[in-house]
């Protein structure tokens, strides 16, 4: 049976079960999603945008799905200790693909009008609000994995910040993967930041180190209205047996400011898609990311920035450090549409192959249909600077330490983009640990041990 067929059959036989444990809003898109999946299938290696990650093979195994929403016996608040000091986030959990219901008292005290919680629950309580956004920018035609996620996702995370509300405390969402059989999760994130509102969200991915395979599919839709400011940090610190297929869709209103920073500290195989769209003028986007990969790990990032209107500014920076036999890929497409004058779009992808076996593929792709724009792109794949290495050694810094300092320095400008000081400090520590080999596996949460 081919990869897609097993999901279609599963869906047809389990539709009632899936629907029962979800909400009408989410159920409303399923049939269309399955029809699209059936007619278009999953991306194949022959697709230009998917040449470096074999999506079909990733979805081929027979994973378990928790369609009946059997509760998992874990209290993440007890087993998870966030070690980002002074960050003082409002902390929430999604275990596999279910929102963990018993919210900490501290997190329950939110300013009036702010909604944070289970996507399923919120879409039952506020169907009008959620349906205005759910599935509206996650384009299922573009990518079969989004259609598949839409067909099976039953829950996830919802954040709504009403107009004018400035949320001082960052919100932290921790995704935990746990299980004792090969397991697939379909998680959904929906974020709505109203006019002039401000919020920061940090999403951390952790996974159990058990000898089972995880396939984690996540679709995240982010609506940032006019004049709003939103930070989205996505930090993966999973295990080598985890495959993550994630798509982030962003729509920005006029004069809005969005920062998206995707950080892969430890993983198995990760494919991330970022689709962003400027829907109003004078908006700014900073899209950045970094990955540190070694052994057989792989990171594949696809970005698509749509300058649909004029006077918008995007700045893109991705940096990878690859060791051992790791593989990396970056494809960054920027589209400046007809009439999107005064666009500024800058893209940079720099990569360090620290071992002769590491492989990096990079592909900048700018399509410009307006004539009064400033755009640039740059892509480099290089090794550590031998002159710098010798300079440091001549000052008594041992080679391994010098290499570590140089690799750390290389990733530093992505960390510098972080607009949360406590997270910045913590990231520096984590990255240093990672380079020292002290972060050989997921260490962020005790649930993993």
Token pair listed for 21: 């444990």
| Residues 241-280, mask of contacts with another protein (x by CB under 8 A) | ----------------------------------------
Please state, in angstroms and as integers, the Cα–Cα distance from residue 253 to each residue in 10, 25, 200, 226, 337, following that order.
Answer: 39, 24, 17, 4, 17
Please state, in angstroms and as integers, the Cα–Cα distance from residue 294 to each residue in 142, 269, 357, 359, following that order.
Answer: 30, 11, 10, 11
The one segment of 69-77, 256-264, 337-345, 400-408 that binds another protein by CB under 8 A: 400-408
Q: Rule CB under 8 A: is residue 412 a binding residue for another protein? A: yes
Per DSSP, the three-state class of 280 is: coil
The one segment of 57-65, 323-331, 364-372, 404-412 that binds another protein by CB under 8 A: 404-412
- DSSP run (H or E) holding 245: strand 242-252
Count of residues of this chain found to bind another protein when the rule CB under 8 A is applied = 22
Closest to another protein by CB, 202 or 414:
414
Are the beta carbons of 325 and 296 closer than 8 angstroms?
yes
Q: Rule CB under 8 A: is residue 399 a binding residue for another protein? A: yes
Distance between CA atoms of 248 and 202, rounded to whole angstroms? 14
Q: How far is the CB of 350 from another protein (least distance, A)?
A: 11
Closest to another protein by CB, 139 or 401:
401
Q: Rule CB under 8 A: is residue 422 a binding residue for another protein? A: no
Are the beta carbons of 173 and 201 closer than 8 angstroms?
yes
Q: What is the DSSP-derived secondary structure letter of residue 166?
A: B
The one segment of 229-237, 275-283, 310-318, 382-390 that binds another protein by CB under 8 A: 382-390
Token pair listed for 199: 């919020």
Distance between CA atoms of 252 and 221, rounded to whole angstroms? 11
- Could you say which residues in the range 177-216 bind another protein, by CB under 8 A? none
Q: Which of 15, 333, 393, 433 binds another protein (CB under 8 A)?
A: 393
Q: Rule CB under 8 A: is residue 413 a binding residue for another protein? A: yes
Q: What is the DSSP-derived secondary structure letter of residue 64?
A: B
Closest to another protein by CB, 239 or 411:
411
Q: Which of 388, 424, 429, 438 binds another protein (CB under 8 A)?
A: 388
Closest to another protein by CB, 59 or 408:
408
* Gyration radius from the chain CA atoms: 21
Q: Rule CB under 8 A: is residue 387 a binding residue for another protein? A: yes
Closest to another protein by CB, 109 or 395:
395
Q: What is the DSSP-derived secondary structure letter of residue 143?
A: -
Q: How far is the CB of 431 from another protein (least distance, A)?
A: 12
Q: Which of 2, 61, 391, 441 binds another protein (CB under 8 A)?
A: 391
The one segment of 53-61, 296-304, 369-377, 392-400 that binds another protein by CB under 8 A: 392-400
The one segment of 33-41, 67-75, 81-89, 405-413 that binds another protein by CB under 8 A: 405-413
Q: Are strands 115-118 and 155-161 parallel, antiparallel or unpaired?
A: antiparallel
CA 127 to the chain's CA centroid: 26
Are the beta carbons of 408 and 378 closer than 8 angstroms?
no
Per DSSP, the three-state class of 362 is: strand
Torsion of CA 414, 380, 265, 98, to 10 degrees: 90
Q: Rule CB under 8 A: is residue 409 a binding residue for another protein? A: yes
Are the beta carbons of 58 and 245 closer than 8 angstroms?
yes
Q: Which of 12, 46, 109, 395 binds another protein (CB under 8 A)?
A: 395
The one segment of 123-131, 278-286, 325-333, 390-398 that binds another protein by CB under 8 A: 390-398
Q: Which of 368, 375, 405, 422 binds another protein (CB under 8 A)?
A: 405
Q: How far is the CB of 328 from another protein (least distance, A)?
A: 20
Please give the sequence-ordered ranges of beta strands (E in DSSP) within 255-373, or none if there are none: 257-266, 269-278, 284-293, 298-307, 313-322, 327-336, 344-353, 359-368
Q: Rule CB under 8 A: is residue 427 a binding residue for another protein? A: no
Q: How far is the CB of 289 from another protein (least distance, A)?
A: 17
Q: Rule CB under 8 A: is residue 396 a binding residue for another protein? A: yes
Q: How far is the CB of 403 from another protein (least distance, A)?
A: 12
Characterize 45-60 residue by residue with b for buried, 16 or more Cβ atoms within 10 angstroms of its Cβ, and e for exposed: eeeebbbbbbbbebbe
Closest to another protein by CB, 304 or 410:
410
Torsion of CA 369, 138, 222, 290, to 10 degrees: -70
Distance between CA atoms of 188 and 197, rounded to whole angstroms? 22
Q: How far is the CB of 322 from another protein (least distance, A)?
A: 18
**Residues within the interface to another protein (CB under 8 A):** 385-388, 390-399, 401, 405-406, 408-410, 412-413
């Amino acid at each position: 049976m081919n990869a897609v067929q097993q999901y279609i059959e599963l869906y047809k036989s389990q539709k009632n079960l899936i629907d029962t444990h979800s909400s009408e809003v989410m159920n409303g898109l399923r049939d269309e999603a399955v029809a699209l999946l059936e007619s278009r299938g999953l991306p194949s290696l022959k697709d230009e945008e998917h040449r470096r990650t074999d999506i079909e093979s990733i979805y081929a195994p027979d994973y378990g799905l928790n369609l009946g929403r059997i509760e998992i016996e874990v209290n993440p608040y007890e087993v998870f200790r966030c070690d980002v000091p002074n960050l003082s986030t409002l902390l929430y959990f999604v275990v596999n693909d279910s929102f963990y219901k018993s919210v900490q008292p501290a997190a329950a005290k939110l300013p009036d009008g702010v909604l944070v919680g289970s996507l399923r629950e919120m879409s039952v309580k506020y169907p009008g609000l959620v349906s205005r956004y759910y599935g509206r920018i996650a384009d299922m035609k573009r990518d079969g994995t989004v259609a598949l996620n839409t067909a099976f996702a039953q829950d996830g995370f919802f954040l709504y910040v009403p107009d004018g509300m400035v949320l001082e405390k960052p919100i932290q969402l921790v995704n935990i993967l746990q299980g004792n059989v090969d397991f697939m999760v379909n998680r959904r994130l929906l974020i709505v930041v109203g006019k002039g509102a401000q919020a920061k969200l940090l999403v951390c991915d952790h996974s159990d180190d058990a000898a089972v395979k995880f396939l984690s599919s996540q679709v995240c839709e982010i609506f940032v209205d006019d004049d709003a400011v939103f930070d989205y940090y996505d930090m993966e610190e999973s295990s080598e047996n985890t495959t993550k297929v994630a798509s982030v869709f962003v729509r920005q209103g006029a004069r809005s400011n969005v920062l998206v920073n995707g950080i892969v500290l430890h993983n198995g195989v990760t494919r991330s898609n970022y689709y962003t769209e400027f829907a109003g003028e004078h908006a700014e986007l900073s899209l950045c990311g970094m990955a540190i990969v070694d052994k057989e790990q792989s990171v594949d990032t696809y970005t698509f920035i749509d300058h649909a209107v004029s006077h918008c500014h995007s700045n893109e920076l991705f940096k990878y450090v690859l060791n051992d036999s790791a593989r990396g890929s970056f494809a960054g497409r920027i589209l400046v549409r007809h009439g999107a004058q005064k666009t500024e779009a800058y893209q940079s992808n720099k990569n360090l192959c620290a071992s002769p076996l590491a492989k990096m593929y990079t592909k900048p792709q700018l399509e410009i249909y307006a004539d009064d724009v400033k755009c640039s792109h740059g892509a480099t794949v290089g090794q550590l600077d031998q002159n710098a290495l010798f300079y440091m050694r001549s000052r008594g810094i041992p080679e391994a330490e010098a290499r570590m300092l140089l690799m750390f320095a290389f990733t530093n400008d992505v960390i510098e983009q972080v607009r949360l000081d406590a997270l910045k400090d913590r990231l520096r520590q984590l990255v240093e640990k990672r380079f020292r080999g002290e972060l050989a596996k997921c260490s962020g949460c005790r649930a993993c041990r």
